[in-house]
């Protein structure tokens, strides 16, 4: 049975537990203020735990809450790892850097996006170049943002999206909506036109605590895609390249490559992993980068609360009764409040971290 104390019910509790667990594990904690407040009026922060040999050549860098509200999962796993002794005997050549609540605004407000309404995992494109074009999204945008959010407009939205899916496919619908778009700041999965504050904070944390090691294993923890409670590793994971061979050797199963169109995720632009690779381009640092994605509910059930939450912050009132209802929906879609889900996530999450440490330790 999973110790329920690892998994929290709100951002404030999660932050407190993570910080206490870091102290318990003998790690150092570093705090980065986001410059904005949570719903309780308190400033929100990103907290970073650093554990192990400070001069270790290999770094396991784990990040949570790139997508705000998805951070409950990573938070619970990181807290558990620190709390139950998993980090007590790190190999001397491995340092662990755990980023708690990178998009702390989104975590606290139960949103997937940042305070700029940006999908942080689409924001790491090179903004000096022209932004990627999503030619399908404009066809769907008006459907997603009605003036009012009620039974009638919700039904209409569902109907139109289903019509699009039956004309193309559910995967095409998912790609059009979730692949990322750079032209509608009030839309969903908007990648932004410049680096967000959380984007800059991530690069700062990397400069401060990762530096110039020989190898970085980067794991970015998400929820919402895939089978209930199942943890997939997404990235360039086919054998045949140095990266693919490595992840195959270290993790062995549960690997998917979205670019090949078979994974739970559509191909994406501007991911945080691509930002990390750009940061270390033309250096000697070798990078292994994977997204950890835990399934919750079917795609349709996850998409509607995201659309509703976007409507709420553009056209609605988050503090209204409808606002609270939508918040409960988005939280449940990305963080099922069920003990057995947390148990599945904990066991698989711990396995992934253990394997990552072993892989880096054997380098």
State how far the Cα of 137 lies from the Cα of 324, in Å rounded to an integer: 28
**Cβ-based nearer residue to Zn ion, 264 or 347:** 264
Output the smallest distance, CB 84 to Zn ion, in A: 25
Structure tokens at 155: 């039904």
State how far the Cα of 263 lies from the Cα of 261, in Å rounded to an integer: 6
List the interface residues with Zn ion, window 88-107 (CB under 5 A): none
What is the per-residue binding string for Zn ion in 49-88, x denoting contact by CB under 5 A?
------------------x--x------------------
State how far the Cα of 205 lies from the Cα of 186, in Å rounded to an integer: 29
Structure tokens at 276: 């990390």
Q: Exposed (0-12), middle (13-18) or buried (19+): which is 118, by Cβ within 10 Å? A: buried
State how far the Cα of 276 lies from the Cα of 298, in Å rounded to an integer: 30
Q: Does 122 bind Zn ion (CB under 5 A)?
A: no
Structure tokens at 260: 């090949």
How many residues sit in the footprint of Zn ion (CB under 5 A)?
Answer: 3
Output the smallest distance, CB 64 to Zn ion, in A: 10
Output the smallest distance, CB 240 to Zn ion, in A: 27
Applying CB under 5 A, among 15, 222, 327, 342 the residue interacting with Zn ion is 222
**Cβ-based nearer residue to Zn ion, 19 or 67:** 67
Q: With H, G, I as helix, E, B as strand and everything else as coil, classify residue 127.
A: coil
Q: Which residues contact 351 (CB under 8 A, 6 or more apart)?
A: none
State how far the Cα of 225 lies from the Cα of 310, in Å rounded to an integer: 19
**Cβ-based nearer residue to Zn ion, 74 or 359:** 74
- Choose one: 34-42, 217-225, 234-242, 341-349; the region binding Zn ion (CB under 5 A): 217-225
Output the smallest distance, CB 241 to Zn ion, in A: 25
Output the smallest distance, CB 23 to Zn ion, in A: 28
Q: With H, G, I as helix, E, B as strand and everything else as coil, classify residue 28.
A: strand
**Cβ-based nearer residue to Zn ion, 113 or 161:** 113
- Choose one: 57-65, 96-104, 221-229, 249-257; the region binding Zn ion (CB under 5 A): 221-229
Q: Which residue from 101, 34, 114 is spatially nearest to 73, judged by alpha carbons?
A: 101
Interface residues with Zn ion (CB under 5 A)? 67, 70, 222
């Amino acid at each position: 049975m999973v110790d329920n104390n690892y998994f929290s019910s709100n951002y404030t509790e999660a932050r407190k537990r993570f910080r206490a667990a870091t102290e318990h594990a003998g790690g150092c904690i570093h705090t980065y203020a986001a410059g904005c407040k949570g719903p309780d009026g308190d400033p929100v922060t990103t907290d970073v735990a650093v554990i192990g040999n400070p001069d270790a050549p290999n770094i396991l860098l784990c990040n949570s809450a790139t997508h705000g509200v998805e951070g409950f999962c990573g938070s619970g796993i990181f807290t558990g790892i620190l709390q139950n002794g998993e980090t007590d005997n790190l190999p001397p050549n491995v340092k662990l850097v755990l980023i708690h609540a990178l998009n702390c605004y989104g975590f606290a407000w139960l949103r997937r996006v940042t305070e700029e309404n940006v999908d942080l995992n689409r924001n790491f494109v090179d903004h000096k170049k022209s932004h990627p074009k999503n030619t399908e999204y404009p066809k769907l945008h008006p459907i997603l943002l009605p003036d009012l959010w009620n039974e009638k407009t919700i039904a209409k939205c569902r109907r139109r999206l289903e019509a699009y899916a039956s004309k193309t496919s559910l995967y095409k619908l998912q790609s059009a909506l979730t692949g990322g778009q750079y032209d509608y700041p009030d839309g969903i999965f908007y990648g932004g036109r410049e680096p967000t504050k959380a984007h800059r904070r991530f690069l700062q944390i990397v400069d401060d605590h990762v530096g110039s090691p020989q190898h970085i294993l980067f794991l970015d923890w998400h929820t919402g895609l895939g089978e209930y409670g199942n943890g997939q590793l997404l990235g360039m994971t086919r054998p045949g390249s140095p990266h693919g061979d490595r992840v195959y050797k270290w993790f062995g199963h549960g690997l998917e490559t979205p670019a090949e169109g078979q994974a739970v995720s559509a191909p994406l632009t501007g991911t945080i992993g691509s930002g990390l690779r750009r940061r270390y381009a033309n250096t000697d640092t070798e990078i292994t980068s994977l997204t950890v994605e835990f399934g919750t509910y079917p795609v349709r059930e996850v998409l509607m609360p995201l659309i509703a939450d976007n409507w709420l912050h553009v056209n609605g009132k988050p503090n209204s009764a409808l606002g609270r209802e939508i918040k409960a929906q988005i939280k449940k879609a990305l963080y099922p409040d069920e003990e057995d889900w947390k148990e599945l996530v904990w066991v698989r999450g711990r396995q992934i971290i253990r394997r990552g440490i072993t892989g880096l330790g054997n380098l």
